[in-house]
Every structure is written in structure tokens, then in C-alpha cells.
Structure 1
Amino acid sequence: MTTPLSSPPLRSDPHDTKAPGGEEQAQHSAELAALHRAADAGEAAAAWVRELAGRQSKEDHARALERVADAVVRVSGREIVPGSDGLLTEELRYTLAADAVLGASHTTGTLPELHDGERMPLAAVCAIAAALPSCVLGDLAAELTALTGDLATATEAGRTATAAGTARACPARRPRTLGADHADPLDRLAYRRVFDRAAEAFEIALHYQGDDGELARAQALHNALAAAGLGIAAAALLRVADDPALGLDPDQWEHLHRIAAELNVRVVEDLGGANGDGTTAPTRPRPA
């Protein structure tokens, strides 16, 4: 059994008069870096497990998941002791094997309340975390780095499932179109910009058509719609990206915002507040 330590021991003692060679020092540095990455990944995984604990309606399940979170932190940190036997205590093995997915089922007769898709990442987090201390029996730096990456991936999968489950629980909202919320000054600012651009395009087209016939009005309307379309599409993409019911991850959210900015960066800036608070109308350029 390993003995809990406040921090992983170093292979070289600063008080040792015998300095390690270059190769040994490089290995020590690689192991130390791997140990730090493992601890960080364990903290991130434990934070997610604590989110699951905080969502439980039964206190017994919440406490069981809190124990799982504490165990993940412990096995990804102070239980990884170079030179040890790499084994876990019976308590840690049981916590990471049973409490994770069963919670306090033996006393409540129920399973922990988890969203669809959360149970598998939770089991993976616990299995990977439990394997981390055994890396001391092989190539510590390489094996620990590989498992740490897997732990981070399992945690991210769990967070994605959590976000999706939370999104599914959101009440349906009526879609908002640009200009529909006149109480929002940023919405009014963006709407005025799109309207002014459309009106300008309409007037210019009428001016150059040379008459007030049906064809001239149709061409002017076509130009107005073309001028307004990109801004309206950009605003719609922002509304979609910001809808919590979709449960978008940060990369997906950023992708939609990037497309919106490519369509009409000024409208994106207006809705984000970059062009002021919406209390002053933008200056409308006049046709030459």
C-alpha cells in the first residue's frame, strides 16, 4: 500500500551533494512535469464530479459522489509516488469502483441522478484515475502522460453530456428576430444599422433607375434586401449560438460567432456592445 504524502517526492534532494547527470536530470524533469499534469487533470475531473454531487436530491448520493471527487484528487496527486508499489488502498479502490456509478444505492435503493451520457464518462474518469498510481512501475513520464490525456478526454466528454442534459431541461423560448426586442438598446442599435443600410441601398437604386416604374421599385427592393440580408443572418446566428437549449460547447459557440462576424462584423459588434450602449444612433452615410 502506498503511504499518502503531501506531495510527490523528488528523485534528487536539494541537500544532496551528489548532483544528478544530464540524462537523469532530464528524466526527473519529465516525470515532475507529468506529475503536475496528472494533478491538474485530476482536479478538473474532480470539479466535474462535484457538479454531479451538487445536483443530487438525495444527500447520500451527494456524499458518495463527493467521496469520489476527493478520491480522484488523491489518486492523481499524492498517491503517485515514484519508487512505491503503485497499489491503492482498499478504501480508494472501492470508492472509485462502486461509489462512482452506484452512489449510495445500498441505502437509498436508487442510483445517482445522472443525465443521459454522464454515467460512462464518470466510470471512465474513475477507472483511469485509479490506474494513475501504477505508472510508477513502468515508464512513469510516458505512461502518466498518456493516461492524463485520457482522463482529460473523459472529463470533457462528461462535461459535454452535462451541458447537453442541462440544455434539454431548459424551457422552450420564442425565437427573437432582429428588431423584435425594442426594449434592448443593443438590439435597436443593430436594427438601425441594418435598416439604414437597406434604406440607403433602396434610395441609390431608385436614383439610378431614372423612373418610378414597377421595375425600378423591384430593383430597389432587391438591393435593399441584399443589403440587409447579411446583417439579419449574422444576428440570427448569434441568437442561435447564445440559446442555452442547444448546449453548445465553447468551440461550437465560437464557430457560429466567427461565421456571424464574417457575414456582418458591425452587427456583431453592435449586439455585443462594442459600438456603444445603443443609446445613440449610428451616423447614417448619405449617398454621394
Structure 2
Amino acid sequence: MTTSALTAPQQHSDTPDETGLDGEDQAQRAPASAALRRAAGAGEAAAAWVRELAGRQGEEDHARALERAADAIVRASGREIVPGSDGLLAEELRYTLGADVVLGASHTTATLPELHPGERMPLIAVCAIAAALPSCVLGDLAAELTALADDLAAATEAGHAATAAGAARTRPVQRPRTLGCDHADPLDRLAYRSVADRAAEAFEIALRYQGDDDERGRAQALHNALAAAGGGIAAAALLRVADNPALGLDPDQWEHLHLIAAELDLRVVEDLGGANGDGTTDPTRPRPA
């Protein structure tokens, strides 16, 4: 892309030289400078993820194709964004960042790049968004560039989640753990004691009032015990689902499951998170209500 002698030096500088500008000019340029830095940072992060994909390839041609895409993302989100230019991306970069980036070098290898499920769409998205960044100079640079930079960061985050989930699926499958079965984890034991104590207390109270010789009374006591324990067991299960990397949950999904777990049984969430101690204290000592 052709750049003017006036704008190019400012674009290449991490800290644009605003010497000689009055306060009003500086105030007008500050949002644009911040947007340019935001775009460059998002581009670097996206390129790092694409290079991670490249490093996983068994076919060297696929690896090179993804490396070229990563380099093009850095250029398109950095020095190709030139205020005052025509906003057009260089033809070579447009070609490199085309949607067929997910095909890698299939025309020479007769194979597709090795991508985990869920990685293809973020890969297309980061390339398409990066290719669109230079055109922001034709409109409201600060607002449009910031919006696309945020989208680029979100697409990269989705890519990382898919990569982590794919890597987790390749690990040996572990047997699901229920509350109280992991005897080696002191926090698990702490949470289990909390739930078991409440269940036992509910059971004993019901028996005391219903009578332990009455079948109906024992059934009611068991119902009370299960009701006291159910929320804690469900909360622990939700936490383990949320923390399973194979699901590739994004931060909002992870937080949502943790919030539901806390609504079911805040004490269990605090116990498993270590908020109530490390679980190694004497279980016979009084514990806060």
C-alpha cells in the first residue's frame, strides 16, 4: 500500500510524535492513536495463535501457508493501516488472508491442515477481520478500528478455546469425579464433610420428630437428608463441568456455571475454591456456620 511521507512515520511509531500540536489537535488524534495500538495488539495476538496452528502441522507446506497468514495478519493490523490512504489492502495480503486459508497448501499436498473441531471458523474470522482493518481509514477511524479490533480479539479467544478443547480431547479420558470420591484432594474432603454434616443433621432432626420406628418417618428423614445434600452435590458437579478443558468454555460460560453453582450451594463453592481453608485442619474443630 502506498503511504504518504506525512502519515507513514507516525503509523510506524509505537509512541507517535505529537510535538508541535496544540491541545485540541492532540485530543483529536489520541483516540485514533489508541485504536491503532489496539488493532496492532489484537493482530499480534491473533498471529501468535495462527503460528501455534502452524507449529502443529505435520505437512511443511501447510505450516508455511499458516505462517504466511500469521505474517499477513500482523501487517494488515499494523503498518497497512495508514490514515489518509485509500484504505485498500495490498493484493498479496488479500490473497493470503482469503477464506481458503483453512485449506492450507491442499493444492500441493492433497490433504487439509490438521485443525481441531471448532478451529476453522475462528481462523477464517481472524483473517477476514484483519483484512478489513485498513479500510477503517475511510470512515470514523477510531470507532470503526476499535470495533473491529475487539472482534479480532474475540475471534482469537474463540480460536484459543477450540485449540484447548481439542488438546484436552487427545488426553486419556479420566473417570468423572463425584463429590467425596477424591480422597487425595483436601478441598474435596472439606466440601464433602460440609454436605454430609448437613445431610446427617437433617436426617436426625426428622427422625427425632417423626419417630425412627415408623416407616413413613424414616422415609421423611431420608427425603430431608437428600434435600439438604442435593444442592451441594449438584454445585460440585457444575464446578467440575465448568473446569473441564475439553468443553472449551469461554470465560462468560465458565463464570455462568460458577454463578449457578454458588446459587445452589455457596458453601460448597467456597470449600472447593479454598475460601474456607486448605482442608487440612482438624475436622472435629468447630467450623463457621
TM beyond 0.5: yes
Q: What is the count of residue pairs matched by the alignment?
A: 282
8 A contact 2:53–2:115 mirrored in 1: yes
Q: Secondary structure at the match of 1:80?
A: coil
**Residues 162 and 248 of structure 2 are in contact (CA less than 8 Å); yes or no, is this contact kept in structure 1?**
no
Indicate the residue corresponding to 1:191 in structure 2. 192
2:225 is the alignment partner of 1:224: yes
SS in 2 for 1:280: coil
Separation in structure 2 between the aligned mates of residue 21 and residue 8 of structure 1, nearest angstrom? 20
Aligned to 1:2: 2
Report the counterpart of residue 249 of structure 2 in structure 1: 248
* TM superposition score normalised by structure 1: 0.82
Whole-angstrom distance in 1 between the partners of 2:154 and 2:197: 48
Q: For structure 2, which runs of at least 5 residues remain unmatched after alignment?
A: none
Confirm whether residue 141 of structure 1 aligns to residue 142 of structure 2. yes
Write the letter of the residue equivalent to 2:2: T
Mapped partners of 1:118, 1:67: distance in 2: 18
Aligned to 1:52: 53
- Superposition deviation, residue 171 in structure 1: 4.3
Query: Is 1:64–1:99's contact at 8 Å kept on the other side of the alignment?
Result: no
How far apart, CA to CA, are the structure 1 residues paired with 2:140 and 2:286? Answer: 68
Take 2:121 and 2:264, find their aligned partners in 1: how far apart are those partners? Answer: 40
Structure 1 SS opposite 2:65: helix
TM-score (norm 2): 0.82
The separation in 1 between residues aligned to 2:112 and 2:36, in whole angstroms, is 34
Instruction: Tell whether the 8 Å contact from 1:45 to 1:72 is kept in structure 2 after alignment.
Output: yes
Q: Deviation per CA, 1:184-230, whole angstroms, max 9, x where unpaired?
A: 22222222221122112222222333564333323322222222222
The root-mean-square deviation of aligned C-alpha atoms, in Å, is 3.1
* Contact kept? 1:6, 1:78, Cα under 8 Å: no
Q: 4+ runs of 1 displaced by more than 6 Å?
A: none
Q: Which runs of 5+ in 1 are unaligned?
A: none
2:32 maps to what in 1? 31
State the 1:270 CA deviation. 1.9
Letter in 1 for 2:175: R
- Residue deviations 1:53-102, cap 9 Å, x none? 23212233223212221221222112212233434444433332388333
Percent identity of the aligned residues?
A: 80
Query: Could you tell me which amino acid in structure 2 is paired with residue 253 of structure 1?
Result: W
What amino acid sits opposite 1:66 in the alignment?
Answer: E
Cα distance in 2 between the residues matched to 1:159 and 1:170: 17
Query: Match for 2:96: what amino acid?
Result: T
Using the alignment, how far apart are the partners of 1:167 and 1:7 within structure 2? 44
Contact 1:199 1:224 (C-alpha < 8 Å) held by counterparts: yes
CA 1:37–1:15: 2 relative to 1, 3 Å: closer
